[in-house]
């Protein structure tokens, strides 16, 4: 049985909304190589576990749903938690959070991004980011991982073909399906993108 650790990077956001009823967001580079599984992910169906163990790659489990993802130092994480009454409105919250993120990216100079599937961020029919959402009583937690300069070749090494896929993927392997943002915006580095995006997200934060 693999040793799975909880994804705790965004705990401060959830604590802010659950203890103080205050919204909070964060934007930060991910500083290690890891697999992050969804809340209900079936690890044996989604991950090449033997390869992962051989290379000593850790597995974390996030609070939001979706399939397992590969993250490394070329990925940027954007997360937000905010008060929301009841338990309804999952689709509306997903749409609003995604629009907020795309608007922030556009203001930062990353043009051409749109949403496809349930939760993918896309440029030119290629996935450049994914997101998940947790709807709990009284609050919403949304988190997205952006591929800025990730080692995309590692995805096929560690991840199996997902058990479910959006229609626009059309059977493509990870290597053919995903792209880094810097493949479309060559001047962008994760060090430049993070502070600019955080500033522009704050302008649309409420």
What is the rounded CA–CA span in Å between residue 126 and residue 178? 5
In contact, 34 and 58? CB cutoff 8 Å? yes
In contact, 25 and 140? CB cutoff 8 Å? no
pLDDT of res. 88: 80
Dump pLDDT digits (tens) for 133-162. Answer: 999 999 999 999 999 999 999 999 999 999
pLDDT at 82 over 70: yes
Dump pLDDT digits (tens) for 88-120. Answer: 888 999 999 999 999 999 999 999 999 999 889
pLDDT at 170 over 90: yes
Dump pLDDT digits (tens) for 6-53. Answer: 999 999 999 999 999 999 999 999 999 999 999 999 999 999 999 999
pLDDT of res. 3: 82
pLDDT of res. 86: 80
pLDDT of res. 1: 58
pLDDT at 205 over 80: no
pLDDT of res. 177: 97
In contact, 58 and 41? CB cutoff 8 Å? no
CA atoms within 13 A on the CB side of 117: 21
Read off the pLDDT band of 56 (50, 70, 90).
Answer: very high
pLDDT of res. 93: 94
State whether residue 105 is helix, strand or coil.
helix
The stretch 50-67 carries a mean pLDDT of: 95
Which top CATH class is 4-200?
alpha beta
pLDDT of res. 206: 63
pLDDT of res. 95: 94
Give the closest residue to 74 by CA, choosing from 7, 177, 153: 153
């Amino acid at each position: 049985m693999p040793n799975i650790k909880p994804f705790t990077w965004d705990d401060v956001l959830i604590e802010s909304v659950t203890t103080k009823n205050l919204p909070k967001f964060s934007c930060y580079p991910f500083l290690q190589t890891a697999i992050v599984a969804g809340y209900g992910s079936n690890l044996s169906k989604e991950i090449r576990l033997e390869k992962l163990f051989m290379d000593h790659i850790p597995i974390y489990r996030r609070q939001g749903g979706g399939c397992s993802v590969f993250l490394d130092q070329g990925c940027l994480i954007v997360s937000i938690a905010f008060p929301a009454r009841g338990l309804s409105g999952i689709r509306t919250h997903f749409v609003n959070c995604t629009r907020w993120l795309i608007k922030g990216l556009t203001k930062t100079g990353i043009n051409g991004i749109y949403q496809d599937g349930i939760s993918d961020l896309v440029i030119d029919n290629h996935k450049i980011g994914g997101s998940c959402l947790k709807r709990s009583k009284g609050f919403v937690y949304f988190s997205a991982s952006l591929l800025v300069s990730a080692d995309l070749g590692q995805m096929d090494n560690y991840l199996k073909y997902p058990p479910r896929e959006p229609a626009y993927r059309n059977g493509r392997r990870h290597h053919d399906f995903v792209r880094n943002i810097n493949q479309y915006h060559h001047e962008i580095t994760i060090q430049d993108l993070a502070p600019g995006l955080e500033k522009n997200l704050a302008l649309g934060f409420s």
